[in-house]
Amino acid sequence: MSTLSERPDSASVGLAIPHESAALHVTGAALYTDDLVYRTKHVLHAYPVQVPHAHARVTALRTEPALAVPGVVRVLTAADVPGVNDAGVKQDEPLFPTEVMFHGHAVCWVLGETIEAARLGAAAVEVDVEALPALVTVREAIDAQSFQGGQPQLARGDVEAGLARSTRVFSGEFEFSGQEHFYLETHAALAHVDESEQIFVQSSTQHPSETQEIVAHVLGKHSSEVTVQCLRMGGGFGGKEMQPHGFAAIAALGAVLTGRPVRLRLNRTQDLTMSGKRHGFHSQWRVGFDDDGRLQALDATLTADGGWSLDLSEPVLARALCHVDNAYFIPDIRVNGRIARTNKTSNTAFRGFGGPQGMLVLEDILGRCAPLLGLDAAELRRRNFYSAGQSTPYGQPVRHPERITAVWDELCERSEFDARRAEIERFNAEHEHVKRGLALTPVKFGISFNLTAFNQGGALVHVYKDGSVLINHGGTEMGQGLHTKMLQVAATTLGIPLHKVRLAPTRTDKVPNTSATAASSGADLNGGAIKNACEQIRDRLLHVAGARLGVPAADVRIVDGVAAALGGADGVLWDDLVFTAYMQRVQLSAAGYYRTEGLHWDSSTFQGSPFKYFAYGAAAAEVEVDGFTGAYRTRRVDIVHDVGDSLSPLVDLGQIEGGFVQGAGWLTLEDLRWDESDGAGRGRFLTQAASTYKLPSFSEMPETFNVTLLRNATEEGAVYGSKATGEPPLMLAFSVREALRQAAAAFGPAGTSVDLASPATPEAVYWAVEQAREHSARGHVVEGGNGAVPPQPGADAPPMRPRSEQVLTDVSHV
């Protein structure tokens, strides 16, 4: 076992402790960026001037009326930018645009003594525009050939030969929705300038270093002249990886120009209408199976809805392509990717970062094709699992493929799958208008950034003369428990009680050049860096202790705050040892660094080993569907998930449960809607509040929810043998969608295959039920059954446009 993975007998890692800020959260004492406003004097408030057009050219901008509003101090425009008027890393996101690219695009910002004064000032600004044609849907963009960024291809083998040797070939389309982050804390920044013209920005950001870079280049400064700090975030989910930069730059620009602190906090409607979301996708595919139901070939095109600019769409698409296989071996495969440019907010990172979208395509294929192949869906999935010696389509060997079947078999046992499946068959036979479904789905998710350079982390550790310890690392806390795990890593490495370690907020003047807290890599990268820094200090202290105890340093161990020789009875207390080291002029601080080894990736060929390891998991979900309304409830969910040797079991359990529920929201509830009409409101985001955008709540939680961590799953080469838990659990929710498909199909004859929209809202489930009822005895799919929605009242009213259109065709004998 490597020194990185080796875990001492007496360790703080592995203890089931609460989140380090849990008490602060529940008592309201936890500080967030916007709370700092009330501790800061003479703060100005920023408010956007949003243009209500999906696409338009600004022909005139008159700010003078705003300056006449009492309390308005200044209006920020492009003329005020001393550096680069752009907030994107691709240089395609003007901070103050002259062309409106989505409904609600901000063209300037008003600074006021109060938020109300700034709001009234923004309302007074006069903007003249020339309306331009707008593309609102991904299908419109495809028809118009409106694409942006690269168009990669993932390929292995000969797809046409694979399809030719397949005994069953199907083709189809599947378009599915994105998802709103809906973090509790909206985007926020607070900036001020000190007497030396150093800019200090408090920002709710997952990527402080990149926020620092964008602020610097907007202001025409060096990065060393800008410091960004993130106390904590009230949720992020990827939505604060790239998109906070522009808001921080506005606040910083205002602070520089006025000499006063500037606060920018979006209200909920502004956040929903101005910030990006999970990418929706359109997919078109052909798939081939042999007589035993084993996948032979997949030919697909995935089109991501990127919105108006690139943002992170290229790496999101790359991860989607790299995860289209999920846990299944496909001998011959060709998947083309492209990014549609639409007149919507720029879609961005969201938990899973394209992985869920790629996986969903194949899981949907398997769910739709299983009945047509005469196979139970769970059996079809299991037959296609990776096995020893096999590699992914991009050439990375699949390590520990046996864990896929281990997780699956344990889940089948713990969920009593066979017995419950038989019971559900009896229930469905006895109930005409209510049906149940039970589905199992697996997850194989790669951990690391696809871009190899991002896989590095830094830390700074101080040990003070009294023995107390302060740690700082490059990761940010958004409620996921990263700081909790880092405290446990530091205490374990130093061999001291957890209460002696304290953690400082993330800021760029402590740990520079950090990567985003994203890609589920926060604990791996920052934990490795903290461990490295603590090891440096510990090794120095071991020499001091060895000299005092009269033994070689190699024979000394620090356990529970006592340094003692192996087999020795006497020891030196941690506090005494630290003070002794100080008196001997031994350095008691260290900068730690970690880089993930063994990674390589060629983005031009889409080949390499971009991931350190794969996280595995599986879920079994049981649902009950009302045939009259399509309403449903989730009766029971069982999960078995591979987290390696958990650093913090309570934190990991919370991540698994939360990720699953968020995934179920994406797949079954959260229905993003834009105005697709040709009227004045075209392109307007319609689901602008929790009243119209349905989020998971307690009523959507499974009535029985069992989560088990896979045992004996040490991950070699990772911090204390652990694995990431941030993103992989979200995809466990595929089981809910597939269970809904099975329940809907149960309203038809045996062997019925139904299409199911995503999100599978009660309306969508109702139309899947209707499709099953109309199913012919031959088992042919009724095309478009799930995508249709009820006609509008009135005999001449046309049917509403399908929200998620699907067509499945069996072309085996064509």
Name the residues annotated as catalytic: 727
- Which of 285, 277, 303 shows the shortest CA–CA distance to 142? 303
Tell how strand 153-156 and strand 147-148 pair up: unpaired
Q: Are the C-beta atoms of residues 17 and 498 closer than 8 Å to each other?
A: yes
Q: Residue 486's closest CA among 551, 451, 416, 533?
A: 533
Helix (H) or strand (E) run with residue 639 in it: strand 632-641
Cα–Cα dist 531/554, whole Å: 18
Query: Distance between alpha carbon 202 and the CA centroid of its chain, in Å?
Result: 23
| Pairing verdict, β 613-626 and 456-463 | unpaired
How far CA 672 is from CA of 185, 233, 311, 555, 759, in Å, comes to 20, 24, 20, 62, 9
C-alpha span between 227 and 180 (Å, rounded): 29
- Token pair, residue 511, equals 């740990």
Query: How many angstroms separate the Cα of 283 from the Cα of each of 151, 156, 686?
Result: 14, 19, 25
Q: Tell me phi and psi for residue 298, to 5 degrees.
A: -140, 125
Q: Tokens at residue 542, please?
A: 């071991």
Our measurement of the distance from residue 579's CA atom to the centroid of its chain's CA atoms, rounded to an integer in Å, reads: 44
3-state secondary structure at position 808? strand
Contact 126, 68 (CB under 8 A): no
Report the phi/psi class of residue 441: left, alpha or beta, with left for phi > 0 and alpha for psi in -120 to 50.
beta
Structure tokens at 275: 């910030």
- Distance from the Cα of residue 364 to its chain's centroid: 21
Nearest Cα to 633, choosing from 691, 698, 728? 698
What does DSSP say about strands 147-148 and 105-112: parallel, antiparallel, or unpaired? unpaired
Residue 356 CA to residue 731 CA, distance in Å, equals 6
Distance from C-alpha of 644 to C-alpha of 664, rounded to nearest angstrom: 24
User: Would you tell me how many other CB atoms lie within 10 Å of the CB of residue 598?
Assistant: 11
Q: Give the bridge partners for 447, in sequence order.
A: 613
For strands 562-565 and 281-289, give the pairing.
unpaired
Q: Which of 288, 335, 52, 173 is nearest to 783 (CA)?
A: 173
Residue with tokens 């990674």: 599
As beta bridge partners, residue 435 has 625
Q: From CA 42, how far away is CA 27, in angstroms rounded?
A: 28
CA distance 683 to 51: 12
CA dist., res. 476 & res. 237, Å (int): 12
Strand partners, 302: 283, 337
Tokens representing 485 are: 């795990």
- Alpha-carbon 621 to chain mean position: 22
What does DSSP say about strands 226-230 and 199-203: parallel, antiparallel, or unpaired?
parallel
**Are 474 and 506 spatial neighbours (Cβ–Cβ below 8 Å)?**
yes
Residue type, 201: V
Q: Which of 541, 519, 521, 532 is nearest to 459 (CA)?
A: 532
Question: Which residues 6+ apart lie within 8 Å of 550 measured at CB?
Answer: none
φ and ψ of 619, to 5 deg = -135, 145
User: In whole angstroms, how large is the CA radius of gyration of the chain?
Assistant: 28
> Max Cα separation, the chain?
96
